[in-house]
Amino acid sequence: FAARYGEVIEQLHLRTETTYFSTIFNTSNAMLDFKVQLAKAEKAAGEKLDVLTLVGGLEDLAHLRPIQDMHDQLGRLHREKKPVDGQLVWAFANRWRHKSQRELDLRVPRWNEDLEHVRGLLEQGLAGYSES
């Protein structure tokens, strides 16, 4: 056990932490580059551009798929006048099992390990559901 634990800490954990750091570092650099390009685009357009509209117009972005899936599932429940049930909670949580309340913190349970939280998200979403 001790040898395996040491291997996990010294190899897997180090690789995971390094990958997370690289991802955050590269994302920060990309955001800086984006801000420069956005400023140039706003200057050329002669007005402030709405980043949310710009990003919202991009189709099938991987990080927006869980939100789109939630909207689709809640729309179905809303139309059928059904409540959130355990089967939906389990299926949704397992489809998006890599998600969590604090995704960069490996100590925080993933959605498939925190069904109560997922149920709360879905119930809150259904209560405030809008087609748009």
Going by the DSSP 8-state scheme, the letter that residue 1 receives in this structure is -
List % helix, strand, coil for the chain (3-state, nearest 5).
70, 0, 25
CA gap 12, 34 in Å, rounded: 32
pTM (predicted TM-score): 0.62
pLDDT tens figures, 78-123: 999 999 999 999 999 999 999 999 887 888 999 999 999 999 999 9
pLDDT of residue 88: 98
Return the closest-CA partner of residue 88 out of 61, 62, 121.
Answer: 121
Indicate the angle between helix axes 86-95 and 65-80, nearest 10 degrees: 160
